[in-house]
Amino acid sequence: MCGIIGYIGEKVEENLLQGLERLEYRGYDSAGMTINRGGEFVTYKATGKVENLKKTLKFNDDLGMGIAHTRWATHGKICIENCHPHFSSNGNVALVHNGILENFEDLKAELSKEGKYFYGQTDSEVIAKCFDRLDIKSLRRVLGKLQGSYALALIAKDSDSIYFVKNKSPLYVGFDGSQAMVASDPSCFVGILTEYYTLEDGEYGRINKKEAVFYNKNNEKIEKYITKLDFKVSYEEKTGYDHFMIKEIYQSRIALENIIERYKQEEIINKLKLLKNYEFDRIYLVGCGTAYHAGLIGGYYLREAFNVDVFCEIASEFRYKNLNIDDKSLCIFISQSGETADTLSVLEFCKEKGGKIVSITNTEYSTIARLSDICFPICAGQEKAVASTKAYFAQCLIFYIITTFLKGKDYILPLQNFKRQIDFGDDNILKPLAKNLVKYDKVFFIGRGVDYITAKEASLKLKEITYIFSTAESSGELKHGVIALIDSSVPVIVIATDEKLFNKTLNNAYEIKSRGGKLILFTSLQIDKDIKENFDYVIEVKKTSKEFQSLQMILPLQKLAYFTAIEKGNNPDMPRNLAKSVTVE
Residues of the shown chain interacting with ligand G6P in the complex, contacts defined by CB under 6 A: 288-291, 335-337, 340, 343, 386-388, 578, 580-582
How far apart are alpha carbons 404 and 576 in whole angstroms? 39
Beta carbon nearer to ligand G6P, 25 or 400: 25
* Closest by CA position to 537, among listed 553, 522, 552: 522
Cβ atoms within 10 Å, residue 476: 15
> CB neighbours of 202 closer than 8 A, spacing ≥ 6?
166, 167, 216, 217
DSSP state of 26: G
Three-state DSSP class for 451?
helix
Instruction: Tell me the closest approach of the beta carbon of residue 124 to ligand G6P, in angstroms.
Output: 21
Instruction: Tell me the closest approach of the beta carbon of residue 234 to ligand G6P, in angstroms.
Output: 19
Q: Please report the DSSP string for 466-512 in residue order.
A: H--EEEEEEGGGGGGTGGGG-STT-EEEEEE--GGGHHHHHHHHHHH
The two beta strands, 212-215 and 221-222, are antiparallel
Helices (H), 148-265: 244-250, 252-262
How far apart are alpha carbons 372 and 358 in whole angstroms? 5
**Catalytic pick among 49, 166, 271, 580:** 580
How far apart are alpha carbons 373 and 394 in whole angstroms? 20
Beta carbon nearer to ligand G6P, 325 or 387: 387
Beta carbon nearer to ligand G6P, 336 or 564: 336
Beta carbon nearer to ligand G6P, 174 or 289: 289
Instruction: Tell me the closest approach of the beta carbon of residue 296 to ligand G6P, in angstroms.
Output: 13
Helices (H), 136-251: 136-143, 244-250
Instruction: Tell me the closest approach of the beta carbon of residue 474 to ligand G6P, in angstroms.
Output: 21
**Catalytic pick among 2, 312, 350, 375:** 2
56 neighbors 44 (Cβ within 8 angstroms): yes
> CB neighbours of 442 closer than 8 A, spacing ≥ 6?
468, 469, 470, 485, 489, 490
* Closest by CA position to 198, among listed 17, 369, 376: 369
332 neighbors 308 (Cβ within 8 angstroms): no
493 neighbors 475 (Cβ within 8 angstroms): no
To the query of whether residue 168 is one of the catalytic residues in this protein, the response is no
Instruction: Tell me the closest approach of the beta carbon of residue 78 to ligand G6P, in angstroms.
Output: 18
How far apart are alpha carbons 366 and 335 in whole angstroms? 10
Instruction: Tell me the closest approach of the beta carbon of residue 566 to ligand G6P, in angstroms.
Output: 19
Beta carbon nearer to ligand G6P, 154 or 560: 560
Cα distances (Å, whole numbers) of residue 237 to 141, 240, 248: 45, 9, 11
Count of CA atoms in the C-beta half-sphere (13 A) of 261:
7
Instruction: Tell me the closest approach of the beta carbon of residue 71 to ligand G6P, in angstroms.
Output: 16
Instruction: Tell me the closest approach of the beta carbon of residue 318 to ligand G6P, in angstroms.
Output: 13
491 neighbors 440 (Cβ within 8 angstroms): yes
The two beta strands, 518-523 and 491-496, are parallel
Beta carbon nearer to ligand G6P, 78 or 531: 78
Cα distances (Å, whole numbers) of residue 164 to 48, 97, 132, 197, 479: 26, 10, 16, 12, 56
Beta carbon nearer to ligand G6P, 276 or 370: 370
The two beta strands, 64-71 and 3-9, are antiparallel
Beta carbon nearer to ligand G6P, 525 or 578: 578
Backbone φ and ψ for 568, nearest 5 degrees, come out as: -80, -10
Beta carbon nearer to ligand G6P, 64 or 287: 287
Instruction: Tell me the closest approach of the beta carbon of residue 367 to ligand G6P, in angstroms.
Output: 11
Instruction: Tell me the closest approach of the beta carbon of residue 524 to ligand G6P, in angstroms.
Output: 25
To the query of whether residue 580 is one of the catalytic residues in this protein, the response is yes
431 neighbors 290 (Cβ within 8 angstroms): no
Beta carbon nearer to ligand G6P, 47 or 335: 335
Active-site residue list: 2, 580
